[in-house]
Structure 1
Amino acid sequence: MALADSIPGVSGGTIAFILGFYDEFVNSLHNFISGNKSQRINALRFLSKIGVGWITGFILSVIFITSIFEKNIYEISSLFLGFIIASIPLIIKSERRTLSERKNIIFLLMGIVLVFTMTYFNPISNSGNSFSIRSENIGLILGIYIFLSGMIAISAMVLPGISGSTILLIFGLYTPILNGIKEVLRLNLEYLPGIIIFGCGVLIGVLVTVRGVRSLLRVYRSQTIYCIIGLMIGSIYAVIMGPLSLETPQDPMNIYSFNIVFFIFGCVLVPALEILKIVLKNKNPELQS
């Protein structure tokens, strides 16, 4: 989940969905925030198992990805496309009954248009200006922008669909945020205010999002799944245009910069996770529930 959340493509929620514990994940978040004492204790037990692995994986991902992301943007973007394209059929397969009950194509189109619009009209990418989140660069407008981006990004991470990192890529904050986290880990406190603002947005986003996502999946599951698939389809365009939002903007990915080897690897990795889920369930009958 940490790897998925730290790279543009599919979200950690998608990984949880593929591995079969997404509903328990969302319910645990909801119970931890607004449940009774017993529910909070049970939720904490479940979330702590994910949390330790997520934090460890995210730190390792940040250290690794920031060192190669800009230098190998087209290879990594090809990998992201593989993640996205391989994940869409898996979600359709797992939600086949829900999707067949009602044909909510309008919500599919809404998801596609939403991501396309955010990418096309992204003010950071379209400005062509590089920036960082050092404290000296953060004014009121950029601070609000970082805060809102954190809220929206964590909302995407909770949903099984578009990655929160893809949202940051669309908003032109992916590389600045990852570099900021990496610098803070190196005890460079110039980046700490920006990370704190982003973290506050994430916390508020969790509080606002979890209950809404849980309700949508319970009451309007078909519409929500169609919209999620639309978000994933739209994120293909976001990843292709992603190089524009780097600190040193580069050309969008095209047929010549596309890397088929990394794309195939991305396509293979996601189904491999579903196979892993089946193997684990066969070895541990308790996971069947």
Structure 2
Amino acid sequence: MSGRTPIHFLWIVLKGMAMGAADVVPGVSGGTIAFISGIYEELIGSLNNLRPALLLTWRKEGFAAFWKAANGSFLLALLSGIAISVASLAKGISWLLEHQPVLVWSFFFGLVLASVLYVAKSIRVRSPGILAMGLLGMVVAYGLVSLPVSEEQATLPYLFLSGALAICAMILPGISGAFILVLLGSYKSVLDAVHQRDLQIIFFVGAGAIVGLLTFSRLLKWMFSRFRDATLSLLTGFILGSLPKIWPWKETLETRNFDGKTVVVREANVAPWHYADDPEWAAALGLAILGFCLIFVLERLASQKNS
């Protein structure tokens, strides 16, 4: 988009950082953050424009025309924010998930719950067919988050495939790319590669992500241009169906030992008052409310900026 100032691009970097932080958490989607921050359709449209024909534009009309056609400044700012966030926050969020899981999940549960209302509000037509698409999205998302966890896989072709599938989930509101990595058994390998700067693994996962991103963005662009309300309803269902995965209070039913580390593979959601005697309960509830309110604060700020 033309007419953007450096301050606008700084905001895009910050939105990218929020997306990166969300994508590190298994259960929260960076696509949800993109949607509620008002850049989702521009992101999908920009990714859809990345095709071989752009190289012809560069050759015939020069780099400036190529950069403008690719919406390069927007993508560079957004991807820079995501990269900064993943590189700087991966270790911290990993520590928090291990030592303070209820507090982390409480905040993100409130955030994602409010985003359901935000996305649903954008649907203009509420016919039975549109509602059916929402139900379909909810069933698919719930089925995905209910799948059992796979054992850890670390072969390079498998990590390439994991990157392609995870990136598709990352740009879908409600479906977490990090959780797809957990399901595929690649999450620990990818997170360790980021911590240890393992360039070989990062390259293969990144290459898979690029292939998946360029392919899947075309489908989403087509769906938005032809069936916008149905697509929004489907995305709302995705977010709603993913909520059980990030419910903060859980009871462990089954664990497995993967490579010397105990991993929960089956758990059940329980009511928060089961932990009413735990002093962490009040803090968890407060963080859930904070996450819920944060969405509407962001929405208000975006509305003021647009006006």
TM-score (norm 1): 0.76
Q: Paired residue for 1:2?
A: 20
Q: How far apart, in 1, do the equivalents of 2:230 and 2:181 lie?
A: 25
- What aligned pairs does 1:113-124 form with structure 2 within 5 A after superposition? 113-124=139-150
3-state SS of paired residue (1:69): helix
Q: Tell whether 2:123 aligns with 1:96.
A: yes
Q: Deviations over 1:119-174 (max 9, x none)?
A: 444351xxxx5x4x6xxxx34xxx44433322122112222332222322343433
Q: How far apart, in 2, do the equivalents of 1:60 and 1:108 lie?
A: 35
3-state SS of paired residue (1:198): helix
Q: How far apart, in 1, do the equivalents of 2:86 and 2:251 lie?
A: 21
- What aligned pairs does 1:131-280 form with structure 2 within 5 A after superposition? 131=152, 138-139=154-155, 143-184=156-197, 189=198, 192-240=199-247, 247-250=261-264, 252=267, 253-255=269-271, 256=274, 259=281, 261-269=283-291, 271-279=293-301
3-state SS of paired residue (1:96): coil
Q: Paired residue for 2:106?
A: 78
Q: How far apart, in 1, do the equivalents of 2:251 and 2:202 lie?
A: 22
Distance change (3 Å), C-alpha of 1:172 and 1:111: farther
* Bigger fraction of residues in strand: 2
Equivalent AA in structure 1 for residue 44 of structure 2:
V
The answer (yes or no) to whether the contact 1:153–1:164 under 8 Å persists in 2 is yes
Q: What's the offset of the Cα at 1:198? A: 1.8
Max Rg structure: 2
Q: Which runs of 5+ in 2 are unaligned?
A: 1-18, 59-64
Equivalent AA in structure 2 for residue 254 of structure 1:
V
Q: What's the offset of the Cα at 1:211? A: 0.9
Q: What's the offset of the Cα at 1:64? A: 1.0
Distance change (3 Å), C-alpha of 1:72 and 1:272: closer
Q: Paired residue for 2:8?
A: none
The answer (yes or no) to whether the contact 1:166–1:239 under 8 Å persists in 2 is no
Q: Tell whether 2:41 aligns with 1:23.
A: yes
Q: Deviations over 1:58-85 (max 9, x none)?
A: 2122021122222333332333322221
More contact order relative to length (CA 8 Å, sep ≥ 6):
1
* Bigger fraction of residues in helix: 1
Equivalent AA in structure 1 for residue 214 of structure 2:
L
3-state SS of paired residue (2:109): helix
RMSD over aligned CA atoms reads 3.1
Q: How far apart, in 2, do the equivalents of 1:22 and 1:242 lie?
A: 35
TM-score (norm 2): 0.72
